């Protein structure tokens, strides 16, 4: 465990340390990720990239790193079931070495696919309610009718849809 910092000066010192260490960590991750990406493409195996990805804490930064690797190389996300595997090299893959060296992973943003259907809350809720009603009719549900009515009230009415 840790001790809380006592005063403003100690807190500011900690913030400065995080800023410097964070920047240095970002640069080290960039160097290792670029090197591991090129190595993976050259040797047609991704164990070093998998270890790097798995060494990072869960969160958006880790996902940003994965997107950066995929977008700048012939490496894809692994679709199998082997534990710890994250990446896979495409047949005949190459790495965009220039992009890996000039475009920092921590500034990478994936393009939004506007053609991809967006998640529809109301449609999902409607499906869930239909299933709950079906399960209740079969005696497999512990959900009471008041709860179902409350959830149903969240659905738009025919007037709302117009």
Q: Which of 138-147's residues contact partners 24+ apart within 8 Å by CB, and which partners?
A: none
Quick check: 162 pLDDT over 60? no
Stretch 119-124: mean pLDDT, rounded? 79
Short-list 96, 35, 52, CA closest to 61: 52
Quick check: 160 pLDDT over 70? no
Q: Read off the pLDDT of residues 96-112 as tens digits, 9 standing for 90 and up.
A: 999 999 999 999 986 65
Short-list 72, 77, 71, CA closest to 46: 77
Q: Read off the pLDDT of residues 13-66 as tens digits, 9 standing for 90 and up.
A: 999 999 999 999 999 999 999 999 999 999 999 999 999 999 999 888 899 999
Q: Read off the pLDDT of residues 122-140 as tens digits, 9 standing for 90 and up.
A: 788 888 888 888 887 788 7
Indicate the pTM of the whole model: 0.64
Cα-Cα-Cα-Cα torsion 91, 94, 99, 105, nearest 10 degrees, comes to 40
CA-to-CA separations, 112 to 25, 83, 115, 118, in angstroms, rounded: 28, 29, 9, 11
State the Cα–Cα distance between residues 63 and 72, nearest whole angstrom: 14
Whether residue 56 contacts residue 65, with contact meaning beta carbons closer than 8 Å, is answered with yes
Whether residue 158 contacts residue 122, with contact meaning beta carbons closer than 8 Å, is answered with no
Q: Is 32 exposed, middle or buried (0-12, 13-18, 19+ CB in 10 A)?
A: middle
């Amino acid at each position: 465990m840790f001790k809380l910092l006592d005063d403003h000066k100690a807190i500011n010192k900690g913030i400065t340390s995080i800023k410097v260490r964070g920047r240095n960590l970002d640069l080290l991750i960039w160097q290792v990720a670029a090197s591991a990406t090129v190595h993976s493409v050259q040797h047609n195996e991704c164990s070093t990239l998998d270890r790097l990805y798995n060494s990072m804490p869960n969160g958006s930064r880790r996902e940003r790193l994965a997107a950066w690797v995929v977008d700048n190389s012939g490496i894809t996300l692994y679709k199998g079931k082997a534990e710890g595997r994250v990446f896979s090299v495409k047949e005949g893959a190459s790495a965009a070495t220039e992009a890996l060296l000039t475009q920092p992973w921590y500034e990478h943003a994936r393009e939004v696919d506007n053609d991809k259907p967006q998640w529809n809350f109301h449609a999902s809720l409607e499906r869930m309610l239909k299933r709950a009603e079906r399960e209740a009719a079969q005696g497999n549900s512990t959900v009471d009718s008041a709860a179902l009515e409350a959830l149903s009230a969240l659905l738009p009415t025919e007037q709302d849809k117009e």
